[in-house]
Structure 1
Amino acid sequence: MSSFSTQMLGPIVGLNLWTLAIETWMYSTRIPATVRAEKAGKLSMRPDMTKEEYNGALPANVRWKADNYNNLMEQPLQFYAIALVMAHLGRGTKVDLGLAWAYVGVRVVHSLVQCLSNKISTRFGLFVTSSGVLAAMTVRAAIAVFGA
């Protein structure tokens, strides 16, 4: 096994920073929208309130940021795991780094589309692209781990 590749940590940290930016954006729109909905009588915060009731009282463009934040807790977890495997194996080749940064870049664009317009067809294309990049990373990691 090769030595640890700190270069492969860059994309991991990058996507985490992006996730924190989305979380900040989410709260900076969601909290004021919640206050407005309460003042307008559209929302009454109760312990037994369902997620659907809460979301129904908020404008769609506010919900999109929360939806994207939740998306960043799903498939990117696989990315983090594979990128850490690659880092542990010392896999910091140009191809591996290029794939990792490409994944981060596509996820950033996906976030911007979801948060700003939520155009489903565009988001789907970006999701498929990010899935393809992640699949390529996974195959490369599998070859490195299991040999070929």
Structure 2
Amino acid sequence: MSPKAVLAPVFVQVLLTFGLLLWTGRARFAAARAGAVTLKDISLGERTWPAPVQQVSNAFGNQFELPVLFYVLTGFALATGKADHLFVGLAWLFVLTRIVHAGIYATGNVVIRRFQAFLAGAVVLMAMWLIFAVRILLA
């Protein structure tokens, strides 16, 4: 499988992360400008941001949790030549679940739907790791 095909889902995941970063910044500046928070309110943490701002911020922060294992696995799969069509298909599925999860979190934040999207992504990523490990250990 070509590096371009393997890295395409990674690029989309990175784009999602940067998109959420920009959305978070815009939401925070808008809230501060509107007087919803003061600098003193937010100087020691993020708990005093209005809920919609916190939702987007949390969606951004989540991109540094489960996706880290995706990035590492993709690097390993490329380095070992174990990235095939199945790997790329599962990678796209994982990224799709992350987009859905972030969309739910940053907008309506229906917790059960958000959890379902998270769980789907976690299961896909676990399957990716299991398949990779078996291919490496049994090679």
Is the pair's TM-score, using the shorter chain for normalization, greater than 0.5?
yes
**What letter is aligned with 1:77?**
V
- Structure-to-structure mapping, 1:1-148, within 5 angstroms: 5-37=3-35, 43-46=37-40, 49-51=43-45, 54-56=46-48, 58-147=49-138
Asked whether the equivalents of residues 77 and 83 of structure 2 are also in contact (C-alpha less than 8 Å), the reply is: yes
**How many Å apart are 1:36 and its aligned residue?**
1.6
- The CA RMSD over aligned residues, in Å, is 2.1
Secondary structure at the aligned position of 2:89 is classed as helix
Distance in structure 1 (CA, Å) of the matches to 2:37 and 2:84: 52
Distance in structure 2 (CA, Å) of the matches to 1:28 and 1:89: 40
Identity of aligned residues (%): 24
Distance in structure 2 (CA, Å) of the matches to 1:146 and 1:55: 45
Runs (4 or more) in structure 1 with deviation over 3 Å come to 3-6, 46-49
Secondary structure at the aligned position of 1:55 is classed as coil
Asked whether the equivalents of residues 4 and 88 of structure 1 are also in contact (C-alpha less than 8 Å), the reply is: no
Distance in structure 2 (CA, Å) of the matches to 1:26 and 1:128: 24
Unaligned regions of 5+ residues in structure 2, if any? none
Distance in structure 1 (CA, Å) of the matches to 2:115 and 2:106: 14
TM-score (ref. length: structure 1):
0.84
Alpha carbons of 1:84 and 1:111: their partners in 2 closer, same or farther (altered >3 Å)? same
Structure index of larger Rg: 1
Asked whether the equivalents of residues 6 and 87 of structure 1 are also in contact (C-alpha less than 8 Å), the reply is: no
**How many Å apart are 1:27 and its aligned residue?**
0.9
TM-score (ref. length: structure 2):
0.89
